[in-house]
């Protein structure tokens, strides 16, 4: 479910920017790091830190949009790729310098322990992740499909020239999308940070999984990204149970290469046609 | 890419010579390292700089080269340094062949997945790669010290001089077309697939060679050699130095190697500064540092190529007839072309008219191979061409121009000139007169006359039926994807169905 949040943020940023945001994975790590630091200072449980982390990462998203995405809007997408890769390296190195490269644990959402439902023990953290994730996905769906702001965001995503022509302040909505993407990434970082720890070098891995989810789910499709992320989660869980983590990842990459080569339009097609 | 001038050539030669004469072993080691990163970067310039493809596997191919030399040196000796780039290039060609057709974002992802795969193998295939500990103790037969420095820099100088020389001419223009206008490149007869594969393989070989040298220098190979940080270093140094400047990779590599020494007290901060500098470079000087230096030196940017003259046209040789027979094309449920048949002879000017959406541009796309016909045949003197890729159609003798509504006179002529210059016997002109002034129309009519005299066959698509009636021998009228009339301009204009479907508009206006 946390993958889904990462992938959703990724696809929002992708649609708004018209190019891959390579720093997205590092936003996730940054979210985890913010949770670690805030947890150390305040000692509060994750659930109360969540709004704080969300705010901090929204600011980071705005910053990313202002320095690495908006100024490059008129250039080929490769320019944005490079700029965000540089941004990602800056975040990673910045975190390494300030936190050290050793992993840290983010505070749990509701404290450790397990619920017992009908005789089956469920860890509190996984349950909390699923609940928070579902709520956020629902909220995002409502925002995009049921509000004027969401309609405008989708308009900017599908055709920014047309959106500008009908009077939508495009730059403002790009920044808003990136802020939202940052928020989702930050919350995902907080959720993942308890179970899987937080280390500066994780960013590339998060980014790659979101990238894969979006590519197999159909480029730019929000629903596709959600399904893709859940698919990757299941794939990893089942395959790693049989052959171990490393080879599960290897199998995932091989599968992705095969999909890209055999079905270059993604598993569910590419509704928006050519886009880069 | 511009040819290498004396200033840069002197730097390229002086650095290793001075290093050998003046620097202590530690300094020489740094110069070797610069050469290694520059080699990897020079390979990367081909793929990323020239073709604009964001290849994220260059770092992994560097690692493949490093592991190859570590595994092969005990048995092959110094020849392992030659084998390593071959292994990397082979891997790149086998895996990348099918990936090269992907669009930019999928290409980036595919190369990233490939890189992650290589990294996983390096870490986990312990029998082959030694796992996290890596491999060591393979350098006994490999060059070291000054010999290594000479070897690295000789390879680098050779790579840069060759690349600059090749790309200064025709190949450089082809690369630019492929990067900026891939469709036009294809219709001019440039085989993009082969070009990309070659660039990717050469780039991979250079990365492999760099990796091999790096393993030789350090004496150990660990999974870090395949890691993403090498890739980021390669990408940022090429962007910082200049992705399309002959010396860009060298400059970027020099900064990447020297910066950590200058900022040694700040530990990890040098990478932070380096990434920050790259970001600033992308924002404000996308041409890179080397190009900035050129500007300070007062060297002019690449010279403008003047459009070829269309006054004198050599007589065309080649096929005599372009024959379409029952060509159909469907988009989803819409039949864009329904059994279109006609013949275009050499020395003949045919006009193709029809309302918007009647299938005129689709027809040109199908003939030139940009779209694949669903049925029917297209042939040049009996040689079928309907299944050929666009570049092969162009080489067989069919050239085309594109709709250039937004362009002013000179650029419009250039677009046609480009198609003419391919030497194509048959020219398909898509709305050459749209938005043109009266003088430009007269110019166009004269050009078409000259093409006729030079024995070319011309098919002109346009809305201006008066212009077409004046310059064309025959007119063909399309309506909803089917030919509804064909004959002399007078016959076609008199046809009642043509009047209903197309000229009706004109009568209203008149």
* Residue of chain A whose alpha carbon sits nearest to that of B55: A78
Residues B12-35 have pLDDT tens digits of 999 999 999 998 888 899 999 999
pLDDT in tens, B475-484: 999 888 888 8
Segment among A29-33, A111-115, B24-28, B60-64 with least mean pLDDT? A111-115
Number of domains in chain A: 1
Domain definitions of chain B by residue range? 38-297, 321-509
Which of A86, A203, A274 has the highest number of chain B CBs within 10 A, making it the mutation to test binding with B? Answer: A86
Q: What is the mean pLDDT of residues B106-132?
A: 86
Please check whether residue A215 lies inside any domain of the structure. no
Closest-CA distance of chain B to residue A119, Å = 39
- Are A93 and B272 an interchain contact pair (Cβ–Cβ within 8 Å)? yes
Residues 6+ apart with CB under 8 A from A245: none
Q: Tens digits of per-residue pLDDT, A49-100?
A: 888 888 888 999 898 888 888 888 777 777 888 888 888 888 888 888 887 7
What does the pLDDT read at residue B408?
A: 57
In angstroms, the CA A136 to CA A140 distance is 6
Distance from CA of A258 to the nearest CA of B (A): 9
Residue B249 CB partners (closer than 8 Å, separation 6+):
B37, B38, B39, B40, B41, B42, B44, B45, B160, B237, B238, B241
Percent of chain A with pLDDT over 90: 1
Inform me whether the pLDDT recorded for B270 exceeds 90.
no
pLDDT, one tens digit per residue, over A186-243 is 888 888 887 777 888 888 888 888 888 888 777 777 888 888 888 888 888 888 777 7
> Which pLDDT belongs to residue A275?
35
B328 to chain A, closest Cα gap in Å: 23
pLDDT at A265: 60
Q: Is beta strand B383-384 parallel, antiparallel or unpaired with respect to B375-380?
A: antiparallel
Mean pLDDT of chain B: 84
Integer Cα distance of A275 and A17 in angstroms: 11
Tell me the chain A residues in contact with residue B120 when contact means C-beta distances shorter than 8 Å. Answer: 246, 249-250, 253
CATH number of B321-509: 3.40.50.300
**A250 found inside a domain:** no
Q: Which pLDDT tens digit goes with each residue over A23-45?
A: 898 999 998 888 888 888 887 77
- Write B124-132 long-range contacts (CB < 8 A, 24+): B124/A246, B124/A247, B124/A250, B128/B71, B129/B67, B129/B223, B130/B221, B131/B223, B132/B222, B132/B223
Question: What band does B306 get if pLDDT is binned at 50, 70 and 90?
Answer: low
Min Cα separation B151/chain A (Å) = 32
Nearest Cα residue in chain A from B119: A250
Average pLDDT of the segment spanning B197-208? 92
User: Residue range A166-184: average pLDDT?
Assistant: 88
Alpha-carbon Rg for chain B, nearest whole angstrom, is 28
- Surface-to-core class of residue B198, CB atoms within 10 Å of its CB (0-12 exposed, 13-18 middle, 19+ buried): middle
Q: Range with the lowest mean pLDDT among B36-50, B339-353, B392-406, B474-488?
A: B392-406
> Does residue A173 lie in a domain region?
yes
- Residue with the bigger pLDDT between B191 and B264: it is B191
**What are the phi and psi torsion angles at B287 (to 5°)?**
-80, -15
pLDDT at A266: 56
Chain mean pLDDT for chain A: 81
The residues pairing with B428 across neighbouring beta strands, listed in sequence order, are B400, B459
pLDDT band at A276 (very low <50, low <70, confident <90, very high): very low
pLDDT of residue B286: 82
Is position A153 within any domain? yes
Q: How close B237 comes to chain A (CA, Å)?
A: 11
CA–CA gap between residue B138 and residue A218 (Å, rounded): 47
Q: Which of A264-273, B124-133, B201-210, B359-368 has the lowest mean pLDDT?
A: A264-273
State percent of chain B over pLDDT 90. 22
pTM of the model: 0.81
**Each residue's pLDDT tens digit, A63-72:** 888 888 888 8
A47 lies in some domain: yes
By C-alpha distance, the chain A residue nearest B272 is A90
- Could you tell me how far CA A109 lies from the centroid of its own chain? 19
Q: What is the pLDDT of residue A270?
A: 47
Domain containing A43 equals 2-199
Q: What is the per-residue burial (b if ≥16 Cβ within 10 Å, else e) of A225-262?
A: bbbbbbbbbeebeebbeeeeeeebbbbbbebbbebbbe
Contact state of B279 with A68 under an 8 Å Cβ cutoff: yes
Q: Please report the beta strands in B208-333, taking only residues with DSSP state E, as ranges in sequence order.
A: 220-221, 321-331
Average pLDDT over residues A156-173: 84
Band of residue B68 on the pLDDT scale cut at 50, 70, 90: very high
Q: How do residues B238-249 score in pLDDT, each as one tens digit?
A: 888 888 888 889
Q: Is A256 in contact with B98 (Cβ distance < 8 A)? A: no
- Could you tell me which residues of chain A have a Cβ less than 8 Å from any Cβ in chain B? 19-20, 67-68, 71-72, 75-79, 81-83, 85-90, 93-94, 96-97, 204, 208, 211-212, 215, 219, 246-247, 249-250, 253-254, 256-257, 260-261, 264, 274, 276
**Average confidence (pLDDT) over B283-294:** 85
pLDDT, tens digit, 9 for 90 and up, residues B391-403: 888 888 888 887 7
Q: What distance in Å separates the CA atoms of residue A91 and residue B141, rounded to the nearest whole number?
A: 42
Between CA A133 and CA A208 the distance in angstroms is 20
Contact A274 B103 (CB under 8 A): yes
């Amino acid at each position: 479910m946390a993958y889904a949040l990462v992938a959703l943020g990724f696809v929002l940023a992708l649609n708004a920017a018209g190019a891959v945001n390579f720093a997205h994975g590092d936003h996730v790590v940054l979210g985890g790091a913010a949770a670690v630091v805030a947890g150390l200072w305040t000692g509060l449980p994750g659930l109360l830190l969540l709004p704080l982390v969300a705010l901090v990462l929204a600011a980071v998203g705005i910053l990313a949009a202002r320095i690495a995405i908006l100024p490059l809007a008129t250039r080929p997408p490769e320019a944005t790729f490079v700029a965000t890769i540089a941004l990602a390296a800056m975040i990673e190195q910045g975190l390494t310098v300030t936190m050290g490269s050793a992993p840290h644990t983010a505070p749990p959402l509701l404290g450790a322990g397990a619920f017992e439902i009908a005789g089956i023990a469920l860890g509190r953290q996984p349950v909390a992740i699923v609940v928070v994730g579902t709520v956020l996905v629902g909220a995002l769906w409502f925002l995009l499909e049921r509000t004027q702001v969401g309609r405008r965001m989708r308009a900017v995503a599908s055709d920014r020239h047309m959106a500008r022509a009908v009077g939508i302040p495009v730059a403002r909505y790009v920044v808003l999308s990136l802020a939202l993407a940052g928020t989702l990434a930050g919350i995902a970082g907080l959720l993942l940070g308890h179970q899987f720890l937080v280390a500066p070098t994780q960013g590339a891995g998060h980014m790659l999984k979101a990238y894969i989810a979006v590519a197999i789910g159909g480029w730019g499709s929000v629903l596709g990204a959600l399904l893709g992320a859940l698919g990757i989660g299941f794939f990893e869980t089942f395959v790693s149970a049989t052959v171990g983590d490393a080879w599960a990842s290897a199998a995932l990459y091989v599968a992705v290469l095969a999909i890209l080569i055999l079905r270059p339009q993604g598993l569910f097609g590419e509704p928006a046609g050519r886009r880069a | 890419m511009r040819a290498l001038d004396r200033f840069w050539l002197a730097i390229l030669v002086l650095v290793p010579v001075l290093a050998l004469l003046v620097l202590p072993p530690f300094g020489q080691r740094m110069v070797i390292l610069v050469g290694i990163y520059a080699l990897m970067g020079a390979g990367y310039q081909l793929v990323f700089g020239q073709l604009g493809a964001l290849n994220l596997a260059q770092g992994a191919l560097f690692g493949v080269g490093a592991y190859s030399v570590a595994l092969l040196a005990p048995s092959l000796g110094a020849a392992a340094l030659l084998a390593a780039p071959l292994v990397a290039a082979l891997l790149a060609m086998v895996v990348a062949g099918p990936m090269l057709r992907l669009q930019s974002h999928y290409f980036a992802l595919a190369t990233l997945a490939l890189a992650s795969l290589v990294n996983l193998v390096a870490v986990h295939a312990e029998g082959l790669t030694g796992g996290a500990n890596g491999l060591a103790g393979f350098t006994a037969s490999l060059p070291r010290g000054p010999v290594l420095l000479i070897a690295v820099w000789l390879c680098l100088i050779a790579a840069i001089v060759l690349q600059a020389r090749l790309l200064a001419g025709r190949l450089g223009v082809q690369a630019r077309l492929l990067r900026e206008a891939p469709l036009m490149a294809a219709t001019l007869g440039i085989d993009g697939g082969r070009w990309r594969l070659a660039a990717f393989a050469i780039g991979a070989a250079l990365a492999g060679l760099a990796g091999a040298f790096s393993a030789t220098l350090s004496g150990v190979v660990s999974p870090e050699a395949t890691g993403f940080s090498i890739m980021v270093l390669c990408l940022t140094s090429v962007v910082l130095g200049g992705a399309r400047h002959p010396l860009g990779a060298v400059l970027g590599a020099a900064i990447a190697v020297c910066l950590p020494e200058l900022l040694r007290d700040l530990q990890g901060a040098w990478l932070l500064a380096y990434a920050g500098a790259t970001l600033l470079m992308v924002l404000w000087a996308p041409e890179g540092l080397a190009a900035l230096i050129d500007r300070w030196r007062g060297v002019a940017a690449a010279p403008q190529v003047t459009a070829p003259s269309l006054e004198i046209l050599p007589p065309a040789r080649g096929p005599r007839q372009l024959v379409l027979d029952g060509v159909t094309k469907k988009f989803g449920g819409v039949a864009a072309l329904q059994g279109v048949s006609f013949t275009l002879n050499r020395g003949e000017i045919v006009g193709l008219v029809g309302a918007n959406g009647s299938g005129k541009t689709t027809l040109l796309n199908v003939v030139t191979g940009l779209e694949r016909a669903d049925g029917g045949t297209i042939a040049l003197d009996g040689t079928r061409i309907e299944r050929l890729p666009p570049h092969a159609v162009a080489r067989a003798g069919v050239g085309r121009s594109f709709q250039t509504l937004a362009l002013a006179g000179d650029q419009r002529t250039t677009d046609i000139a480009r198609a003419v210059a391919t030497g194509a016997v048959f020219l398909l002109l898509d709305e050459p007169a749209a938005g043109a002034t009266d003088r430009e129309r007269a110019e166009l009519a004269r050009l078409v006359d000259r093409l006729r005299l030079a024995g070319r066959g011309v098919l002109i698509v346009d809305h201006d039926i008066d212009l077409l009636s004046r310059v064309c021998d025959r007119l063909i009228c399309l309506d909803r994807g089917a030919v509804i009339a064909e004959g002399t301009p007078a016959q076609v204009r008199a046809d009642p169905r043509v009047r209903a479907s197309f000229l009706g508009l004109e009568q209203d206006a008149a």
